[in-house]
Amino acid sequence: MLLMTSGMTPSRSQSAGASAADHAHALEQLSRLLGPDNVLTDAATLDRYGRTTGVRGTRPLAVVRPAHTAEVQELVRIAGGAGLKLYPISRGRNWGYGDAGAWEDGQVIVDLGRMNQICELNAQLGYVVIEPGVTAQQLYEYLQQARCGLWMDATGAGPEASLVGNTLDRGFGHTPYGDHVLSCCGMEVVLADGRVLNTGFGHYQNAQAHRVYRYGVGPSLDGLFSQSNLGIVTRIGLWLMPEPEDFAAFFLFVPEDEGLERIIDRLEPLRLDGTLRSAIHIGNDLRVISARLRYPFDRAGGKTPLPPELRRQLRRELRIGAWNASGSICGTRRGVADARRALCRALHPIRPLFVNDRRLALAGRLARWLGFCLFGRRLAEQVELVEPLYGLLKGIPTNEPLHGATWRVRDPRPRVAPDPLDAHAGLIWVSPVVPSTGRHAREVMGIIEPIYHRHGFDAPATFTMITERAMCCVTNISFDRRLPEEVEAAGRCYEELSDALYRAGYPPYRTGPMGMRKLRQGSEVFWDVVGAIKKALDPHNTISPGRYEPPAL
């Protein structure tokens, strides 16, 4: 299953020799296969799937909704014979990286949302087998009801996002299982000719270690189907985290901007030696401010980006630092206590705030009891800020991070986090990978901030220690989609920013449609090999043409 995107001019939407009549006949066949309610060509549906938070979207030819792997097999056979181009999505929540739209106009969206079965749960070995339509909230509730003592990993994409889609786009979350590709074991993939490939040991009948040993025997093929257009993944195994004996979240607030290097260089040794095993998120003040507020145009006098003094004032009002970090420690009670002491020693004189279930519940009660006074109100604000982040660190999905998508939208913020597309939010992610050192983090900030400011945008940034040695710097361009001048400025900003990061040696870990053509830099051999594999597996270029398949320079 391949999540993504939209945004370029059509160039390969139809195969040589394919005609509109061929396409119409194929859609009739698909209607008989899937039922007329699951082959949609009405204008309202095509408009909805063609929306984007980016600079420009595309319009699909149709939207089809299979319910089973067998239907996907027949679907690709019909499409291949008629020259239809298919664009699979899981649930279309890939906001900021392409949303639910295809790479080019005229492709057929294959919405896998109806394939939403939790097929297997093994509580003893800690894994689950799921289909692409399974949401984070669905799996969370399933595990709660099963009382199996297992936690999932949640992302900031919201409760309705697909776990399979996020995994295949190499997304990440918050727990020690935050690198989702590393937690994936065994894929079922429909190839362009309709055959079903089971990776790892899955192609052996009754293989007992299918979901517990990802490599199998022989070449390991799983990696071919993340960030690619080589097949449609219809099922994956996903490892789950045993509920620990003890758990503590920690939060750090660094008052000065120069503290970024210091905090990274002090946390990195603990990440490298295994003292800290969770993903650690280090966000600047703008990341927090944009999640809590809409852009204060009145207080800024209409100026963008935020004037420095107003930015400092907002930090004081929200009681946050110039940089703010969160992570977790889990394990035995003794192990957690030892890790807490090691963290305090490494960070001295910065004092981390430790939170567990008991302390959070107590703070909530105090805030309610003392709500009549300033202290109580401030405590309530802190609980409101920390509670959703604390939940994410325990694998509990939340809509809270989605508020940041509407930072520059000129409407009052609704009480419930909306679909960013419904809120007219413009959102483009720029996500370079950075070695886990303070020097590299400062170099990246030195690149991105002047470019953002030059185009009139703020630079919210989060450095996530996703592995023991690397960070993903997640930063975004936020704008109002209804304002043509902002849309154009966002496009120019993205182009300059991406080019500058590539030149400095910081390619992205993930990209949307605007960034696909920029991928073919450096050695041609890599992308030539990718192209050869594509030609072998999908000679008619049926599945997601152009996705992670940059054209030759």
DSSP state of 275: S
Q: Is 256 helix (H, G, I), strand (E, B) or coil?
A: coil
pLDDT given at position 14 = 42
CB 403 within 8 A of CB 417: yes
DSSP state of 1: -
Q: Is 428 helix (H, G, I), strand (E, B) or coil?
A: strand
The tokens for 51 are 């929306």
C-alpha dihedral, 464 to 466 to 471 to 475, nearest 10°:
-40
Domain definitions of the chain by residue range: 118-242, 246-504
Secondary structure of 226-292 as H, E, C letters: CCCCCCEEEEEEEECEECCCEEEEEEEEECCCCHHHHHHHHHHHHHHCCCCCCCEEEEEHHHHHHHH
CA distance 281 to 323: 10
The tokens for 415 are 């009480």
- Taking each helix axis from N to C terminus, what angle separates 357-369 and 374-393, rounded to the nearest 10 degrees? 150
Residue 409, number of CB atoms within 10 A of its CB: 22
CA distance 128 to 547: 28
CA distance 112 to 88: 7
Secondary structure of 190-236 as H, E, C letters: ECCCCCEEECHHHHCCCCCCCCCCCCCCCCCCHHHHCCCCCCEEEEE
pLDDT given at position 383 = 85
Residue 190, number of CB atoms within 10 A of its CB: 28
Closest listed residue to residue 394, CA positions, set 201, 242, 208 = 242
Q: Please compute, for residue 419, the number of CA atoms within 13 A of its CA located in the half-sphere on the CB side.
A: 14
pLDDT given at position 417 = 62
Q: Is 542 helix (H, G, I), strand (E, B) or coil?
A: coil
CB 45 within 8 A of CB 164: no
- Say whether the peptide bond before residue 432 is cis (omega within 30 degrees of 0): no
Secondary structure of 349-402 as H, E, C letters: CCCCEEECHHHHHHHHHHHHHCCCCHHHHHHHHHHHHHHHHHHHHCCCCCCHHH
CATH architecture of 246-504: 3-Layer(aba) Sandwich (3.40)
- Say whether the peptide bond before residue 349 is cis (omega within 30 degrees of 0): yes
Residue 338, number of CB atoms within 10 A of its CB: 14
Q: Which residues pair with 330 in a beta bridge?
A: 247
Per-residue pLDDT of the chain (553 residues; tens, 9 = 90+): 333 333 333 333 444 467 899 999 999 999 999 999 999 999 999 999 999 999 999 999 999 999 999 999 999 999 999 999 999 999 999 999 999 999 889 999 999 999 999 999 999 999 999 999 999 999 999 999 999 999 999 999 999 999 999 999 999 999 999 999 999 999 999 999 999 999 999 999 999 999 999 999 999 999 999 999 999 999 999 999 999 999 999 999 999 999 999 999 999 999 999 999 999 999 999 999 999 999 999 999 999 999 999 999 999 999 999 999 999 999 999 999 999 999 999 999 999 999 999 999 998 888 889 888 888 888 888 888 889 899 999 999 999 888 899 999 998 666 566 789 999 999 999 999 999 999 999 999 999 999 999 999 999 999 999 999 999 999 999 999 999 999 999 999 999 999 999 999 999 999 999 999 999 887 789 999 999 999 999 999 999 999 999 887 6
CA distance 150 to 137: 15
The tokens for 389 are 């982040």
CA distance 81 to 68: 21
CA separation (Å) from 306 to 225, 263, 303, 475?
A: 41, 25, 7, 16
The 10s digit of each residue's pLDDT in 240-286 is 999 999 999 999 999 999 999 999 999 999 999 999 999 999 999 99
- 118-242 maps to which CATH number? 3.30.465.10
CA distance 515 to 506: 13
